[in-house]
């Protein structure tokens, strides 16, 4: 009995040692790569801004308190002239937050939508990254709704088949961006 108990204690000590070493290695790796990961995330957001508001050649942060799912707003300018806004939103989808960048021009129309990150189901919700889906938002300026089938009207988009939750989440993000920009422009 004593030998068996001793071997269990020895085995537990070895296991704790391995866990401690693994934790130390992961901590060091996280420390070493944190700056690079942060840089790449910022680079992805900058690229998304240029993609969704191509008329702008520079972007400035818009200070203010924004309601969820809006995370941040950037004013796009060409030279000194404002040309629109990029709105970072993160609505909740089926697999968690869907981080989007939405471009809205000075006329209040969507100029583009870019999916920065998401954890939606491959083959279903992940189709939100396909231009055939997010391209439906371009040119829309009013509250947008989702339809499951049929021909979409001016203020509607067709849902991704089998991924209505994702479609509604992206639409909620785009609607939040439109409302935020309308509020910034005084409701125009």
Rounded to whole angstroms, the Cα distance separating 149 from 164 reads 11
188 residues of the chain, pLDDT tens digit each: 567 777 888 899 999 999 999 999 999 988 888 888 888 888 889 899 999 999 999 999 999 899 999 999 999 999 999 999 999 999 999 999 999 999 999 999 999 999 999 988 888 888 899 999 999 999 999 899 999 988 988 899 999 988 999 999 999 999 999 999 999 987 54
Best CA proximity match to 130, nearest among 145, 120, 142, 141: 120
Contact criterion met (CB below 8 Å) for 70 and 87: yes
Distance of alpha carbon 20 from its chain centroid, rounded? 35
pTM to 2 decimal places: 0.79
């Amino acid at each position: 009995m004593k030998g068996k108990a001793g071997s269990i204690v020895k085995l537990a000590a070895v296991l704790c040692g391995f866990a401690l070493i693994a934790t130390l290695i992961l901590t060091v790796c996280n420390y070493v790569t944190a700056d690079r990961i942060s840089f790449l995330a910022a680079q992805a957001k900058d690229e998304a801004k240029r993609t969704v508001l191509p008329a702008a050649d520079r972007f400035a942060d818009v200070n203010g308190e924004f309601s969820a799912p809006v995370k941040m707003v950037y004013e796009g300018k060409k030279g000194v002239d404002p040309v629109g806004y990029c709105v970072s939103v993160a609505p909740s989808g089926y697999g968690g937050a869907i981080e989007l960048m939405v471009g809205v021009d000075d006329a209040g129309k969507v100029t583009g939508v870019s999916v920065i990150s998401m954890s939606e189901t491959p083959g279903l919700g992940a189709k939100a990254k396909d231009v055939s889906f997010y391209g439906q938002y371009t040119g829309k300026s009013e509250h947008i709704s989702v339809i499951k089938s049929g021909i979409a009207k001016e203020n509607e988009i067709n849902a991704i088949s089998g991924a209505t939750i994702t479609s509604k989440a992206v639409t909620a993000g785009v609607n939040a961006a439109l409302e935020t920009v309308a509020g910034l422009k005084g409701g125009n």
